[in-house]
Amino acid sequence: MSNYLLKTESKGLKVLFVPSKDVLSFQVTILVGTGSDWEKPKENGLSHFLEHMCFKGTKKRPKNILITQELDNIGALYNAFTSRELTGYFIRCSKENYLKALDIVADIYLNSLFNEEEIEKEKKVIIEEINMYQDDPQSYIWDLWDYLLYQNQPAGRPVAGTPETVLKFKRRDLINYRNKYYHRNNTLIIISGNFNQKINQEIFDFFQNLEPKKKINRPKTKEPEKQPVILLKHKDTDQAHLIIGFKTFDLFDKRNYPLDVLNTILSGGMSAFLFQVLREKLSAAYYCSSDNISYTDRGYLAITMGLDLKRIDEILKTFFKELFSLQDKIDEEMVKKAKNYLNGVVALKTENIHNLALKYGEMFMLRQEIIPPKKYLEKISQVDLKEVKNLFEKLITPERTRMAIIGPFKKEEKFVKILKESSR
């Protein structure tokens, strides 16, 4: 389980080092503290659009091909991502080419041109990305879920935006947004893999022009006054796609440790509750899983599944009956098994030094602290049966259940009825 060093340079530039001499690769990642949660209604999708445009040309490399060709010539792995609370850019390459990686990632971060012709071209690409996402019910269900919980506020809108918002973006929108959020006080540089100490000065040289500014807090997510229990999207599919879930806690809440254990009891491997009920007992689903997802101001436990259309009523009735009775069946052995499972999963996740470094970086950006795997597992080891059962009793009830559904259904009433009947 790797060591790390968080260093703040003299001018306030924050750099996280996660070294490993056991690998031949090097990665530089830049995290900026903004994402779709910061966007106003007309800006929906702007963080994601900006991320795309940073690869479309810089002062030093005016065209996309000049950027990608340099990276392909050294066999680099490179990409970017936008989430609700962070945007990231990374380049992974052989350790010998680390200076090339630093040069290019700094160039796209600091010197992107945002050429108007490229902006218009990229609009078409992103709209196709949105269309692709909406054509995949297993992915699109998450947009419906977020809207069900948070409605018309940033947390309820899609990260990529909509075709309507994307088409209206102008060059000045991108520049204004970048100037507002892409600055020294809102940026973390992550260096992982195989590197030596002289990289300290080299990083500062590449990023010395990154200006300091005051960080901007995003608007806090509010609880909608009227939140539907069920959100149905009619679509001709061969399978019903569902998220059944419950609001939980933000990522600072200590109850996330017993919640992780509870979540593992639900879906920690093929012997866990979901697989055994939906696949082994009912033969009703190919995919089923659950996730404990936390943001800085909200959280939820989400159970995802794809179900046989013809048997949906029967399956859901049995599933809810089994789910709501699980609390009485949870015992010391199930809690111990979940802890052992988490120990194994965490150990495997530490094998990739670059993924581990990204996880550390995300922790620092969102919560201003890093919780190493060893400390996390110590907290998990302290969770007891009573905590898990109490959490189940408070969180997983028919009254607190919410459902997002995609399938060839016209009315939500049948699902409301099934849920009500499960509480009897």
We find that the CATH architecture of domain 230-422 is: 2-Layer Sandwich (3.30)
- For the chain, what percent of residues have pLDDT higher than 90? 93
* CA nearest to 15, candidates 251, 214, 179, 208: 208
State the average pLDDT for the chain: 96
In the chain, what are the domain boundaries? 5-207, 230-422
Burial class (CB in 10 A: 0-12, 13-18, 19+), 365: buried
pLDDT tens digit sequence for 168-220:
999 999 999 999 999 999 999 999 999 998 999 999 999 999 999 999 999 89
Give the three-class secondary structure for 108.
Answer: helix
CA distances (Å), origin 85, targets 32, 38, 307: 9, 8, 32
pLDDT of residue 227: 79
Q: Is the pLDDT of residue 36 over 80?
A: yes
Q: Is the pLDDT of residue 2 over 80?
A: no
Q: What is the pTM of this model?
A: 0.95
Q: Is the pLDDT of residue 45 over 70?
A: yes
* Same fold? 5-207, 230-422: yes
pLDDT tens digit sequence for 119-159:
999 999 999 999 999 999 999 999 999 999 999 999 999 99
Q: Are 360 and 370 in contact (CB under 8 A)?
A: yes
pLDDT tens digit sequence for 101-129:
999 999 999 999 999 999 999 999 999 99
Q: Is the pLDDT of residue 228 over 90?
A: no
pLDDT tens digit sequence for 252-293:
999 999 999 999 999 999 999 999 999 999 999 999 999 999
We find that the CATH architecture of domain 5-207 is: 2-Layer Sandwich (3.30)
